[in-house]
Amino acid sequence: MKTKLLFLFLLCSLTFLSAQTQYVVGNVKNEVQDNIPQTYIYNPRTEELTQTDISGNFIISAIPSDEIRMVKSGFERLVVKVAAVNFSKPLQVTLSKLPFDIEEVVIAFQPSGNLKKDLTYFKTPARTEKLNKEMNLYMMKPLAEVTPQNKMPSSFAPPNYGAGQVNVLGVVSALKGLLNKATSQPLTPPNYAEVQDFYRRVKDVIDLNYYKNYGLSEYDFEIFLAYADQNQSLAKRFHKNFNRVAIETELKIAFVEYQKTHKFGS
């Protein structure tokens, strides 16, 4: 008898809950009132899951006191407790953007507190400085070996009807070279703003993926760029006459020595 009464009670309870189940209609927007499509709408009690359409609208079954969860990538999650009023008019939901996470920067250098000792970390070793100077001198020297020339033997050359005549183009070219040499100005050290502008241009045009493959983060590359500039006077030489190919070549040469004396990456 007790079993029959319990079954009858459960049946009546389910019938009552089923009769109370209604539908909540709503709309999801962001903080500037733009509709947010494909937002997940979830009712934990019924385990019903749906999504907003292209206009941010949704419909889900619920009863009063249900907690409806709103989930969208890039936005803060929101839980709305269903009230009786939500069955008579649309539920307006506003999701807030998640704050932008700044990538964590790992600093390899651990200061000891002793200024004199810590400054030695940034000082270039004497052996490396000597090697850099020798490399710079070597790069500025002309080629020692004679390069082959594609020249026709004189016995097979066609007759030169202009022999003995004044080479007008050659004279003009020589005068132009002398004029440029006379008017050219010596290299002047850049000021702070010019150096920073040079660094920015370098980072804009240089393929940073080359250095990232060696474990350099963007922060590490800025330290390396300052190192290369200090040793090879890049800003002084190129801030007025920016040459991407030459700068990229010199950075790769400097990077070979930089890897031997500096630690970076994880």
pLDDT digits (tens, 9 = 90+) for 191-226: 988 889 999 999 898 888 888 888 888 888 888 899
Q: Domain ranges in the chain?
A: 2-94, 102-137+188-266
**Could you tell me if 40 and 60 are in contact, meaning their C-beta atoms sit under 8 angstroms apart?**
no
What confidence tier does 182 reach under pLDDT thresholds 50, 70, 90? very low
What does pTM read for this prediction? Answer: 0.34
Taking only the tens place, the pLDDT of each residue in 127-137 is: 788 888 888 77
pLDDT digits (tens, 9 = 90+) for 19-43: 467 999 999 999 999 999 999 999 9
The CB density around residue 155, as the number of other CB atoms within 10 Å, is 5
Distance between CA atoms of 50 and 28, rounded to whole angstroms? 13
Distance (Å, rounded) from C-alpha 123 to C-alpha 109? 13
185 pLDDT more than 70: no
Band the pLDDT of 72: cuts 50, 70, 90.
very high
User: Taking Cα atoms as reference points, which of 91, 90, 89, 98 lies closest to residue 71?
Assistant: 98
2-94 carries CATH number 2.102.10.10: no
Question: Considering the chain, what percentage of its residues have pLDDT values greater than 90?
Answer: 33
